[in-house]
A and B are shown apart, each in its own frame.
Chain A
């Protein structure tokens, strides 16, 4: 009963390094999302996908890229990490049924520090 799994759980990077965060869901959901959560701010949407092979920008997309080659996976990439990208990153997914009135299911997050 895995739900949404995020890899890795923690990571420390140096400025300028690159990395990829992996999100995997086993619920056959169409929609997948990447958020970041910063102290004193609500979760903010980075990118999202409405189905395999599709991606779209959210509220704060700059500095990030995403890919959804398989329905169950949604990857978030940082090409050149900056200290401002230090945050907790959450992946979420939801079903496309009920006209969008389905709750989002979240992973446990990836805690990323950029030095």
Chain B
């Protein structure tokens, strides 16, 4: 069974700092990998989706990379802002399967 791990579980940074969130998965036979944001009491918002054939995706200040062979993905947030404070979730979709396997998330706090 696919296992997805996110480290650290929580992270606090001062405003303006660049930061990296990590995600690792045990089975490299993935179809795609997605990064989501979850605000307290809310649902998940999709940030970036990386197909298995891609190495990275960018959206504004966000950049996600994928290394299938090592089972790792990173989410890079540039020039962090207090509005970036949220829980960030990583999820992988496996080839031939229809569900997403989620990590437990990294809770990010950006201090003004």
Contacts and interface: CB of A to CB of B under 8 A. Distances in A.
A42 B43 CA distance: 13
Interface stretch (B14-22, B61-69, B93-101): B93-101
B4 A108 contact: no
A100 B31 contact: yes
Interface string B25-44: 00000011010100001111
Contacts of A40: 104
Contacts of A58: 99
A43 B43 CA distance: 11
Contacts of B93: 100
B71 interface: no
Contact of B44 (A31, A45, A90): A90
Nearest to B48: A103
A48 B99 contact: yes
Interface residues of A, number: 26
Contacts of B89: 42-43
Contacts of A104: 34, 44, 46, 100
A29 interface: no
A50 B98 contact: yes
A21 B23 CA distance: 32
B100 A45 contact: yes
B34 A109 contact: no
Interface in A29-85: 31, 33, 40-45, 48, 50, 56, 58-59
Contacts of A103: 34, 46, 49
A106 B99 contact: no
Contacts of B58: none
Given A4-B43, A42-B4, A48-B98, 16 more contacts: A40-B104, A42-B102, A42-B103, A43-B89, A43-B100, A48-B99, A90-B44, A92-B44, A101-B31, A101-B32, A103-B34, A103-B49, A104-B46, A104-B100, A106-B36, A108-B42
